[in-house]
């Protein structure tokens, strides 16, 4: 990602000690890196989300658990003391959403992440070709079947269209706030108009996300719209970013453009598939090491030292030549 963005390093700064620690919604984190919610970790490793959560705890980072997890909310909560946020969708059966939110609250999850870019599932051609079927997710046992099979296209899409509430709109944030006191982040904002609306309805934060480019073709790269969102919210709520974070330099660029922290999706699944909990730890550690080095080489000792002037966009370079 971040094609066209370059880093403007500052020199002769005492960088003998680098501190990457931060707080996210008031919770300590060793670095501004969180685990993004991704579905069905048992497809990558038999220990599933429990292994991911343990890695998050070991690295002192925050994990967002997907609504579509293969381990239950309770299993993940009792496996370790990681700070956990809970991602959720609003289903047509709102009683199921409310029940899941209550289970997250009961099990010590600290914040909720409502994913808002999925009124319908994007057209995922690989899922159609592979005839992907979701396993029966234990969280929903006794509530609904997730193993939907259809002879028309994607099984996953058939499940999603039967469950997701496409009528969800801004007014419903009030309903969500009436069923929980936990802070609610909304994930999937890509425009300043929606960022302003999010502040108005009182959410606790925004995740600039295009769902890892799995929903709308031609949605922008998140790094390219981050600043638009940051400027719109005027510091009233924190802004986070996910999508394409693969290197510590990517984290640095996102912070320079105003993100408070980033979330990582696929790298975590790759680490999990390769080596379970240990693999996820390695992924997080590599990103942290790279961020620390980037900060040192850019003249930043603390996250607050990373400023807008540390990056230059391709557009700005062009402008300076005119």
Ligand X SMILES: Cc1cc2nc3c(=O)[nH]c(=O)nc-3n(C[C@H](O)[C@H](O)[C@H](O)COP(=O)(O)O)c2cc1C
C-alpha distances (whole Å) from 2 to each of 43, 208, 286, 309 are 30, 14, 19, 16
- Tokens 């991911």, residue located: 52
Single out the residue of 243, 248, 258, 279 in contact with ligand X (rule: CB under 6 A). Answer: 243
Say whether 312 sits in a helix, a strand or coil. Answer: strand
According to DSSP, the residues that pair with 189 across neighbouring strands are: 208
Give the footprint of ligand X on residues 87-106 (CB under 6 A): 87
Stretch that binds ligand X, among 61-69, 75-83, 140-148, 228-236 (CB under 6 A): 61-69
Site stretch for ligand X (CB under 6 A), options 2-10, 96-104, 197-205, 264-272: 264-272
Regarding 66 and contact with ligand X (CB under 6 A), the answer is yes
Comparison of 286 and 307: residue with beta carbon closer to ligand X: 286
Q: What does the alpha-carbon distance between residue 14 and residue 179 come to, in Å, rounded to a whole number?
A: 49
Annotated catalytic residue 211: yes
Distance CA 221, CA 295 (A): 24
Nearer to ligand X, 20 or 219 (CB): 219
Nearer to ligand X, 269 or 280 (CB): 269
- Given 92, 110, 192, 266, the residue binding ligand X (CB under 6 A): 266
138 binds ligand X (CB under 6 A): no
Judged by CB under 6 A, which stretch of 25-33, 71-79, 158-166, 243-251 contacts ligand X?
Answer: 243-251
Q: Are strands 311-312 and 6-7 parallel, antiparallel or unpaired?
A: antiparallel
Q: How far apart are CA 55 and CA 84, in angstroms?
A: 12
Is 119 marked as a binding-site residue? no
Size of the site for ligand X (CB under 6 A): 22
Tokens of 300: 């930043």
Q: Which of these is catalytic: 41, 45, 211, 310?
A: 211
Q: Is 293 exposed, middle or buried (0-12, 13-18, 19+ CB in 10 A)?
A: middle
**Any residues with CB less than 8 A from the CB of 204 and at least 6 apart, and which?**
25, 111, 183, 184, 185, 237, 238
215 binds ligand X (CB under 6 A): no
Dump the DSSP string for 204-234.
SEEEE--GGGTS-TTPPPHHHHHHHHHHHHT
42 in a known ligand binding site: no
Tell me if 83 sits within 8 A of 62, measured CB to CB: yes
**Can you tell me which of 36, 76, 198, 287 binds ligand X, judged by CB under 6 A?**
36
Question: Smaller CB distance to ligand X: residue 25 or 68?
Answer: 68
Q: Of 287 and 300, which has the nearer Cβ to ligand X?
A: 287
Residue 215 tokens read as 């929903």
For the CB of residue 37, give the shortest distance to ligand X in the complex, in Å.
4
Give the x-and-dash track for 163-202 against ligand X (CB under 6 A): ------------------------x---------------
Out of 31, 65, 68, 101, name the contact with ligand X by CB under 6 A. 68
Is residue 114 a contact point for ligand X (CB under 6 A)?
no
Give 71-138 as a DSSP string: S-HHHHHHH----EEEEE--BSSHHHHHHHHHHHHHTT--EEEEE-S-SS----HHHHHHT--PPPPG
Asked if residues 227 and 254 have their Cβ atoms less than 8 Å apart, the reply is no
When asked if residue 39 is in the footprint of ligand X (CB under 6 A), the reply is yes
> Which residues form the catalytic set?
211
For ligand X, the binding residues (CB under 6 A) are 36-39, 66-68, 87, 115, 187, 209, 211-212, 214, 242-245, 264-266, 269
């Amino acid at each position: 990602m971040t094609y066209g963005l370059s880093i403007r390093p500052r020199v002769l700064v005492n960088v003998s000690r680098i501190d990457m620690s931060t707080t996210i919604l008031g919770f300590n984190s060793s670095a501004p890196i969180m685990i993004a919610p991704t579905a069905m970790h048992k497809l990558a490793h038999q220990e599933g989300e429990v292994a991911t959560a343990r890695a998050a705890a070991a690295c002192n980072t925050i994990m967002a658990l997907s609504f579509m997890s293969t381990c239950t909310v309770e299993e993940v909560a009792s496996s370790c003391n990681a700070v956990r946020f809970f991602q959720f969708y609003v289903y047509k059966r709102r009683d199921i959403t409310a029940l899941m939110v209550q289970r997250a609250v009961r099990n010590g999850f600290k914040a909720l992440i409502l994913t808002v870019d999925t009124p319908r599932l994007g057209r995922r051609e690989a899922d159609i070709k592979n005839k992907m079927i979701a396993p029966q997710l234990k969280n929903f046992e006794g509530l609904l079947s997730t193993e939907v099979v259809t002879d028309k296209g994607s099984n996953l899409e058939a499940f999603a269209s039967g469950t997701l509430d496409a009528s969800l709109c801004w007014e419903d944030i009030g309903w969500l706030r009436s069923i929980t006191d936990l802070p609610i982040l909304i994930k999937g904002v890509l425009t300043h108009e929606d960022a302003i609306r999010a502040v108005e309805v009182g959410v606790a934060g925004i995740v600039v996300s295009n769902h890892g480019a799995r929903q709308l073709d031609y949605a922008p790269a998140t790094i390219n719209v981050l600043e638009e969102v940051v400027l719109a919210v005027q510091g009233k709520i924190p802004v986070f970013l996910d999508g394409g974070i693969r290197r510590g330099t990517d984290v640095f660029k996102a912070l320079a453009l105003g993100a408070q922290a980033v979330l990582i999706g696929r790298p975590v699944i790759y680490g999990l598939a390769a080596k379970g909990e240990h693999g996820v730890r390695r992924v997080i550690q590599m990103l942290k090491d790279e961020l620390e080095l980037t900060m040192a080489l850019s003249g930043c000792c603390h996250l607050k030292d990373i400023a807008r002037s540390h990056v230059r966009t391709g557009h700005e370079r062009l402008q300076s030549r005119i």
